[in-house]
Structure formats: C-alpha cells, structure tokens
Amino acid sequence: MGLQFVDGIGRPDRDNTIDVYISEEHDDVLRDGAWQRVFKVKPEVLTMEEKKEWLAKNTDVCIGSDAFFPFGDNIERAHKSGVKYIAEPGGSIRDDNVIETCDKYGMAMAFTGIRLFHH
C-alpha cells in the first residue's frame, strides 16, 4: 500500500494501524495528532473499491492465540481479513460456536491444548 511508517514502529502497532486504516474507523489513525505517531506522511483515505481490492489480496492468512477465541464474531472478523488457518488452545465454553463459524467459512482450526495466557 506504500504506507510510510515512522521509524521504530513495532510490528503489532503497524499491523493494528493498517487494520484500522482500511476500516470505517480510519479517522482513528488519520486525525490530526494521531497519524503523526505512526506515519511519516498522512495517507489518503482509501475508497471502498481500494479497500476491497487490498483485502482480496489477503488469502491463506494464519492467526494464533495463546488464549482462546471465545466468540464466533472473532472468527467472522478474521475471515474478513483473509484468515483460513487458526491455532489456539481451545477450552472456551463456546468452542462449539467458534468451530461452527470456522466450518461455515471452510477455515481450519487446530487446538494446541497449550494455554499461556492466564488472568
């Protein structure tokens, strides 16, 4: 997309910025005072067609979590970003809903059985 990020921005911050930038909440990263923290040059707002074209290129994306995905809407959102493969520990009381949502989109989910995130 040719986005010019500030030097030293971490990968998670960069990735989250891209996610917000292509969303309808793009003003969260493009308003004055916000864009300067992540971009060297303020990018233009993408048209709906440009957003769709960029998202269509994201296929076969993998995500993982050391906690679990507790709701099907997490999977719905992941699907919109091109996710096809998920690794997570499992163990949510709503695993059946999450599995059903994965099946709906033909996404593969592997339960690792290893949970590193604790409250």
Mean pLDDT for back-to-back runs of 10 residues, the chain (119 residues): 92 91 91 95 92 85 85 89 92 91 96 78
104 and 69: one domain? yes
Q: And the tokens for 100?
A: 């059903």
49 falls within a domain:
yes
Burial of 98 (0-12, 13-18, 19+ CB in 10 A): buried
88: domain CATH number is: 3.40.140.20
Q: What is the pLDDT of residue 63?
A: 92
43 and 68: one domain? no
SS3 85: strand
Q: Model-level pTM?
A: 0.65
Whether the Cβ atoms of residue 4 and residue 39 lie closer than 8 Å to each other = yes
Range of the domain at 46: 11-56
| Dist CA 61 CA 9 (whole Å) | 22
Q: What is the pLDDT of residue 118?
A: 63
107 and 67: one domain? yes
Q: What is the pLDDT of residue 14?
A: 93
Q: What is the pLDDT of residue 119?
A: 59
Q: What is the pLDDT of residue 117?
A: 66
How many independent structural domains does the chain possess? Answer: 2
48 and 18: one domain? yes
Angle value at C-alpha 88, between 15 and 115, nearest 5 degrees: 110
18 and 45: one domain? yes
Q: And the tokens for 54?
A: 């960029």
25 falls within a domain:
yes
